[in-house]
Amino acid sequence: MSGQLTSLTAGMPIPYGGDRVAVVPAELAAAFKAGDRLVVVQETGALLHIPKAVNDIASSAVTRAHEAFQEMGNASDERVTRFFGAFAAKLEDSVVWAAIAKANAEDVEQARARGRSTTRLLADEKMRRGMIEGLRGWRDSPVRPGAVIETIEHEGWSVEQLKAPLGVVGFVFEGRPNVFADAAGVLRGGNTVVFRIGSDALGTAKAIVEYALNPALAAHGLQGAATLVESSERSAGWAMFSDPRLALAVARGSGPAVSQLGAVARQAGIPVSLHGTGGAWLVADRFADADRFASVVENSLDRKVCNTLNVCCIEHSAAEKLVPVFLAALERAGARRGRGCKLHVVEDGGAPSYIPDGWFATKALIRRAEGDVEEDRAEILALDQLGREWEWEETPEVTLAVVGSLENAIRWFNQYSPRFDASLVSEDSSSHDYFYNNINAPFVGDGFTRWVDGQYALNRPELGLSNWQNGRLFARGGVLAGDGVFTVRSRVRQSDPKLRR
């Protein structure tokens, strides 16, 4: 038998995962109405309620992007090029930016009132310039759909392998207005994009769409090629990521939310690119130069983003020399932001014995999303919490561990970290070779951790950075940019009309 789900009752069993059962809570049963959707996450048994009105908004946005993709084959490279230039010019227009800045100021004020983080929400002049540079980078990019990857010659015929557009890219991201430029990059390869932004930045997003994005699209006949899901409801992301018309689902944000979105997309048969857990690791071995180490620590703590220094491991034989260097650099990083600092010390390995007693005996005013909070300046951290990412506002926050050897540091990284960004400070080349060959991270360096960024490192605005927390990636790098969204088509050219097998 089959039918349509029109209601739920409290206590109703919902099978999932093939051999498990979730139970409908009373709150969900009361909220669910005819026309709504229930998505059952097969990995966890989570019951996700998508109201009809929200589903309609998301479905309509995907429809616009899907229809626009059907027309992209007729859009010349020149039209797409002019779109990027026009989008950048709109953001550079002082009148347009004033309207966007006004909406952003309202978003920031409302987010602060709710005790939400605003470190990535503020659309300041630096963010504006980054968006403009990113869009002009796509304008000038040599990437084009139809580029020949390989030609295989046969007697009387040949086969070309060509890059081809993938389709509609679904993009869910946290409250960072600048990712509009990143998401728009998929148009360079002939794709279209539908995106949802976190509720904190929705007002800013609507302003960018109204005053800059849509006018640039319309001016060059690309309406719908980049479409915003205008809903603040989290369920809008679930609705979008369960739409099988998506060719790729990309999610950035907090770890649990991103994992859930990825599970929803995967069970709908949509490939995913996820980045939800960050936090860089830095290792200093016994060959580390103290001055280089100090600079690396301080310059890896300038602001809180995914590639900010989160865990520092110092080899035991160098701890007496380098722990004071680390603490001084941490204090300078805090002073540079006009704040103090927060330290977590892993007891295993003996790190607490190298920390002056005053660190544990004093309080510090720590800036959290909800405001200033008085906390212990230093705290002991259990080893099994070593992978925890510290989400700080203005007060640099980091974990320190002392390890017996470089091998031990690598083992802890591979076991406890999200396997994302790792750096080694050492003057010994064999240490660097050993580190690279054994650390399970897509991004490996020998200096400050903040280099991990598509636009900064590769001159390509990124859709997202992927870690290896759930296994290594197949056939692509950890930076997903607009020019990395493609499929491959084959085209035969037969010169011998009598060819037969």
Q: What mean pLDDT is predicted for residues 51-60? A: 98
Q: What residue type is assigned to position 488 of the chain?
A: V
Q: Comparing 313 with 455, which gets the higher pLDDT?
A: 313
Residue 277, helix vs strand vs coil: coil
Extract the tokens encoding 333: 């990083």
In whole angstroms, give the CA distance from residue 98 to residue 93: 9
Q: Largest alpha-carbon pair distance within the chain?
A: 88
Q: Comparing 116 with 91, which gets the higher pLDDT?
A: 91
**Neighbour count for residue 362 (Cβ, 10 Å):** 11
Q: What mean pLDDT is predicted for residues 197-202? A: 89
Listed ranges 55-64, 135-144, 145-154; the one with the highest mean pLDDT: 55-64
Q: What mean pLDDT is predicted for residues 13-24? A: 96
Measured CA angle at 349 (ends 348, 350), to 5 deg: 95
Q: List all residues 6 or more positions away from 326 whose beta carbon is below 8 Å from its beta carbon.
A: 284, 293, 294, 297, 312, 314, 400
Q: What mean pLDDT is predicted for residues 455-473? A: 80
For residue 463, what pLDDT is reported?
A: 78
Is 60 exceeded by the pLDDT of residue 373? yes
Q: What mean pLDDT is predicted for residues 224-232? A: 95
pLDDT digits (tens, 9 = 90+) for 239-295: 999 999 999 999 987 778 888 999 999 999 999 988 878 899 999 999 999 999 999
Q: What mean pLDDT is predicted for residues 327-346? A: 95
**Neighbour count for residue 246 (Cβ, 10 Å):** 27
pTM of the model: 0.85
For residue 181, what pLDDT is reported?
A: 79
In whole angstroms, give the CA distance from residue 139 to residue 79: 10
Phi then psi for residue 20, to 5 deg, are -130, 165
Q: What mean pLDDT is predicted for residues 141-152? A: 88
Q: What mean pLDDT is predicted for residues 309-320? A: 98
For residue 177, what pLDDT is reported?
A: 80
Query: Are the C-beta atoms of residues 289 and 282 closer than 8 Å to each other?
Result: no
Is 90 exceeded by the pLDDT of residue 460? no
In whole angstroms, give the CA distance from residue 218 to residue 215: 5
Report the sign of the C-alpha dihedral through residues 318, 321, 327, 331, in that order.
negative
In whole angstroms, give the CA distance from residue 172 to residue 187: 17
For residue 311, what pLDDT is reported?
A: 98
Q: Comparing 198 with 28, which gets the higher pLDDT?
A: 28
Listed ranges 118-122, 173-177, 329-333; the one with the highest mean pLDDT: 329-333
For residue 1, what pLDDT is reported?
A: 55
Residues listed for the chain: 501
- Domain 55-277+481-488 class, CATH top level: alpha beta
Q: What mean pLDDT is predicted for residues 1-14? A: 89
Is 70 exceeded by the pLDDT of residue 2? no
**Neighbour count for residue 314 (Cβ, 10 Å):** 29
**Neighbour count for residue 37 (Cβ, 10 Å):** 17
pLDDT digits (tens, 9 = 90+) for 174-192: 777 877 777 898 999 999 9
- Domain 280-456 class, CATH top level: alpha beta
pLDDT digits (tens, 9 = 90+) for 124-142: 999 999 899 989 989 998 8
Q: Comparing 481 with 53, which gets the higher pLDDT?
A: 53
Across the chain, what does the average pLDDT equal?
93
Q: What percent of the chain has pLDDT over 70?
A: 99
In whole angstroms, give the CA distance from residue 160 to residue 151: 4
Extract the tokens encoding 396: 């640099």
- DSSP assignment of 118-166 equals -TTT---HHHHHHHHHHHHHHHT----TT-EEEEEEETTEEEEEEEE--
Query: Are the C-beta atoms of residues 460 and 478 closer than 8 Å to each other?
Result: no
H or E, element range at 62: helix 52-72
What is the residue extent of each domain of the chain? 13-52, 55-277+481-488, 280-456
In whole angstroms, give the CA distance from residue 356 to residue 323: 10
For residue 451, what pLDDT is reported?
A: 95
Extract the tokens encoding 19: 């051999």
Q: Tell which residue, 250, 224, 236, 228, has the closest CA to residue 171.
A: 250
Q: List all residues 6 or more positions away from 44 whose beta carbon is below 8 Å from its beta carbon.
A: 260, 263
In whole angstroms, give the CA distance from residue 167 to residue 371: 43
CA 428 to each of CA 17, 169, 385, 406, 441: distance values in angstroms, whole numbers, following the listed order: 50, 44, 30, 12, 20
Residue 268, helix vs strand vs coil: coil
